[in-house]
């Protein structure tokens, strides 16, 4: 996934994009601690990245730091939130209300990062008809009825053997972005964005780093 920086009309590299929400969380803590200005050197030191990397990453946004004082914290937060699209809340459907799907429904952080789950779908009579955190769970067959609601994002947390079938149906019903938590490499038509996410990939990195450190 990449964002186009409209100002400079260039594609922002994915590693930079991945670091930006971390800068944002860090800046919010700095703001809470009363910091008015912050330098890229301090951000870099606290986050364990190179200062030139920080300056380069932030240069993709419209903000410019001031010599010697650095960036204005409030302004930088605002610019980053806007740049990352977190100020606009997008609506999403969730597919599969099992252990992972339920955890996402309970996660308050999603909304802060610009994503609101407005309905969920499952096939299990144990969950269909229930409400979790104010989100109603519908039977998967009811998806057609909901397809004109303008929801363009779907979160996929169904079992592996249902993944392709469910993603096909999501796309048919107008979903244009799939946040795929399943390990399946789903196939979609051109123009549909798929973002694969795995907790286990990060776990593998941690195991590897721990081995290297021991
Ligand atoms: N990305 C990650 O880090 C990560 C972590 C855990 C699990 N997973 C993956 O996420 C998926 C869900 O895992 P889980 O542990 O929540 O499984 P789960 O079995 O607890 O939940 C799956 C849910 O999907 C529902 N479902 C089945 N067919 C459906 C359909 N056609 N439409 C809608 N819902 C349907 C089931 O009834 C169930 O409630 C799996 O593919 C798993 O491999 C990924």
pLDDT for residue 171 = 96
Q: Is the pLDDT of residue 9 over 60?
A: no
14 or 93: which leads in pLDDT: 93
Known binding-site residues for NAD(+) equal 96-101
Q: Is the pLDDT of residue 120 over 80?
A: yes
* For residues 43-48, average pLDDT: 93
Both tokens of residue 73?
Answer: 């914290």
- Residue range 90-200, CATH number: 3.40.50.720
Domain-wise residue ranges, the chain? 4-83, 90-200
Sequence length of the chain is: 214
pTM: 0.84
User: What's the mean pLDDT when you consider all of the chain?
Assistant: 91
Q: Does domain 4-83 have CATH number 1.10.10.10?
A: yes
To the nearest whole percent, how much of the chain has pLDDT over 70? 95
What's the pLDDT tens digit per position in 188-213?
A: 999 999 999 998 988 988 998 899 98
- Cα of 157 vs centre of ligand 1, distance in Å, is 4
**Strands across the sheet with 193-196, in order?**
131-132, 135-139, 115-122, 90-95, 153-156, 177-180, 193-196
Both tokens of residue 178?
Answer: 């799939």
Q: Judge contact between 45 and 68, C-beta under 8 A.
A: no
pLDDT for residue 202 = 86
Known binding-site residues equal 96-101
Ligand 1, residues 100, 107, 127, 186: which to mutate, most atoms within 8 A of Cβ?
100
Name which residue sits closest to atom 6 of ligand 1, judged by CA. Answer: 100
Confidence bin at 2 (pLDDT 50/70/90): very low
Name which residue sits closest to atom 33 of ligand 1, judged by CA. Answer: 122
pLDDT for residue 86 = 86
Confidence bin at 10 (pLDDT 50/70/90): low
């Amino acid at each position: 996934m990449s964002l186009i920086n409209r100002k400079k009309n260039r594609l922002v590299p994915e590693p930079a994009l991945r670091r930006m929400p971390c800068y944002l969380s860090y800046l919010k803590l700095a703001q809470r601690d009363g910091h008015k200005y912050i330098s890229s050197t301090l951000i870099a030191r606290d986050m364990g990245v190179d200062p030139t990397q920080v300056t380069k990453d932030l240069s993709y946004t419209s903000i410019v730091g001031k010599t010697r004082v650095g960036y204005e914290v409030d302004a930088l937060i605002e610019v980053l939130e806007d740049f990352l699209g977190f100020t606009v809340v997008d609506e999403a459907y969730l597919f599969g209300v099992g252990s992972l799907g339920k955890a996402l429904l309970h996660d308050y952080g999603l909304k802060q990062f610009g994503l609101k789950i407005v309905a969920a779908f499952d096939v299990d009579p144990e969950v269909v008809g229930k409400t979790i955190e104010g989100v109603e769970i519908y039977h998967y067959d009811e998806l057609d009825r909901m397809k004109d609601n303008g929801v363009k994002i779907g979160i996929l947390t169904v079992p592996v053997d249902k993944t392709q079938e469910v993603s096909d149906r999501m796309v048919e019903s107008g979903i244009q972005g799939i946040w795929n938590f399943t390990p399946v490499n789903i196939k979609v038509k051109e123009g549909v964005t798929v973002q694969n996410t795995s907790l286990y990939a990060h776990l593998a990195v941690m195991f590897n780093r721990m081995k290297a450190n021991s």
